[in-house]
Amino acid sequence: MALAACSKPADRMEIKQLRTIDAAFRQVPEAMSSSERFGFSTSSPASPRRQSKSVSLSWKVPEGWEPLPTGGMRAASFRIGTGAECVVSLLPGTGGGLEANINRWRHQMGLEPLSSEAIAALPKIHVLGVASPYVEMSGTFTGMSGTPQPDWALLGTICLLPESSIFVKLTGPADEVLSQREAFQTFCQSLQQ
Amino acid sequence: MKKVLQAVFQVLASSALACVLLILLMAVTFVGTLEQVDLGIYEVKRRYFESLITVHWFFNKVPVPLPGVYLLTFLAGVNLVCGGLVRIKKGISQWGVVVAHAAVVILLVGGWVKHEYGEEGYMTLHEAEVSNEFETPLDWEIAIWKKDAAPITEYVIPHRDFAHASQDHPVTFQHPDLPLDIQVTAFFPNCLPQPAGAQTDVPSADGFILQPISEKTKLEEQIPGAVVQLQPKNATAVNVGLLWGAQRGPWVVRSNDETWVVDFRRQRRLLPFAIRLDKFTRELHPRTNLPRAFSSDITRIENGEEFPAKISMNEPLRHKGYTLYQASWGPQNAPEGTRLFSTLAVSYDPAERLPLYSCVVLTAGLVFHFGWMLYRRLRRIAEENAS
Would you call A115 an interface residue with chain B, using a CB distance cutoff of 8 Å? no
Q: Per-residue confidence at B75, pLDDT binned at 50, 70, 90?
A: very high
Mean pLDDT of all residues in chain A?
A: 79
Question: Cβ–Cβ of A13/B172 closer than 8 Å?
Answer: yes
Domains and CATH numbers, chain A: 51-190 (3.40.1000)
Question: Cβ–Cβ of B248/A46 closer than 8 Å?
Answer: yes
User: Residues A114-118: contacts with CB within 8 Å, 24+ apart?
Assistant: A116/B38, A116/B216
Q: Report the residue of A7, A18, A21, A54 to disrupt the B interface, i.e. the one with the largest count of B CBs within 10 Å.
A: A21
What does the alpha-carbon distance between residue A174 and residue A168 come to, in Å, rounded to a whole number?
Answer: 17
Q: Are residues B320 and B82 in contact, defined by beta-carbon separation less than 8 angstroms?
A: no
Q: Are strands B204-205 and A12-14 parallel, antiparallel or unpaired?
A: unpaired
Would you call A112 an interface residue with chain B, using a CB distance cutoff of 8 Å? no
pLDDT for residue B106 is more than 80: yes
Question: Cβ–Cβ of A99/B330 closer than 8 Å?
Answer: no
Give the global pTM. 0.67
User: Helix crossing, B92-117 with B354-386: angle to 10°?
Assistant: 170
Cα atoms found within 13 Å of the Cα of residue B336, Cβ hemisphere only: 4
Nearest Cβ partner for A17 among B158, B197, B207: B158
Q: Are residues B306 and B162 in contact, defined by beta-carbon separation less than 8 angstroms?
A: no
What are the residue ranges spanned by the domains of chain B?
2-117+353-386, 120-131+269-348, 137-267
pLDDT for residue A54 is more than 50: no
Nearest CA in chain A to B160: A9
Question: Cβ–Cβ of B330/A52 closer than 8 Å?
Answer: yes
Q: 3-class SS at B343?
A: strand
pLDDT digits (tens, 9 = 90+) for B147-164: 888 788 999 999 999 999
Q: Report the residue of A6, A13, A15 to disrupt the B interface, i.e. the one with the largest count of B CBs within 10 Å.
A: A15
pLDDT digits (tens, 9 = 90+) for B17-57: 999 999 999 999 999 999 988 888 888 999 999 999 999 99
Question: Cβ–Cβ of B206/A35 closer than 8 Å?
Answer: yes
Q: 3-class SS at B327?
A: strand
Enumerate residues 210 to 249 of chain B having a beta carbon within 8 A of any beta carbon in chain A.
Answer: 211, 213-214, 216-218, 221-223, 241-242, 244, 246-249
